[in-house]
């Protein structure tokens, strides 16, 4: 179970389904890292940059569920503030708990009952190629084929 959870946490980090958070607006004049931001300026969090920040993540472009597990592999490590798949603060995702619960159940159901293998002759093909065209929900996968067998 911890490995399953760590895998999903890594999917949320790597997949960063919302590369930029929803637009927000500053409520007062402020300074952030030397930049003056006037009141009522639209600001957006670059979650993609946070999730792929090489200063905070070891090999951010690799999928490594182990990064969320301790040395025993049995305990989940609490993610740092460089992890925000559902945004942060008062206006973070309203559906976070619902989404996480549903995805966990679906994921366990699928991988507990079926095996997924690549199509013979196309084993070298990556299934995680991502459509990098810009959009609010960037990074959806291109269509792909796999062989699904009931276990």
Check binding of 85 to ligand HEM (CB under 6 A). yes
For ligand HEM (CB under 6 A), the number of binding residues is 15
The 8-class DSSP code of residue 65 comes to G
Q: Environment class of residue 51 by beta-carbon count within 10 Å: exposed (0-12), middle (13-18) or buried (19+)?
A: buried
Q: Pick between residue 74 and residue 111 the one whose CB is nearest to ligand HEM.
A: 111
Check binding of 65 to ligand HEM (CB under 6 A). no
The 8-class DSSP code of residue 68 comes to G
Check binding of 82 to ligand HEM (CB under 6 A). no
138: which 2 tokens? 């960037």
Q: Environment class of residue 107 by beta-carbon count within 10 Å: exposed (0-12), middle (13-18) or buried (19+)?
A: middle
Check binding of 105 to ligand HEM (CB under 6 A). no
Check binding of 8 to ligand HEM (CB under 6 A). no
Question: Of the listed pieces 51-59, 74-82, 85-93, 106-114, which binds ligand HEM according to CB under 6 A?
Answer: 85-93
Phi, psi of 27, rounded to the nearest 5 degrees: -95, -5
Binding residues for heme: 93
Q: Which residues are annotated as a binding site?
A: 93
């Amino acid at each position: 179970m911890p490995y399953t959870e760590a895998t999903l946490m890594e999917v949320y980090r790597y997949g960063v389904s919302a590369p930029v958070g929803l637009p927000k607006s500053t409520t007062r004049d402020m300074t952030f890292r030397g930049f003056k931001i006037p009141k009522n300026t639209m600001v957006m969090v670059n979650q993609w940059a946070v999730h792929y920040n090489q200063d905070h993540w070891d090999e951010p472009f690799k999928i490594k569920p182990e990064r969320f597990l301790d040395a025993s592999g049995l305990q989940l490590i609490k993610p740092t503030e460089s992890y925000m798949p559902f945004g942060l603060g008062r206006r973070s995702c309203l559906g976070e708990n619902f989404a996480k619960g549903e995805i966990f159940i679906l994921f366990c159901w699928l991988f507990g009952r079926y095996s997924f293998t690549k199509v013979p002759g196309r084993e070298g093909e990556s299934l995680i190629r991502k459509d990098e065209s810009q959009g609010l929900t960037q990074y959806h996968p291109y269509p792909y084929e796999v062989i699904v067998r009931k276990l």
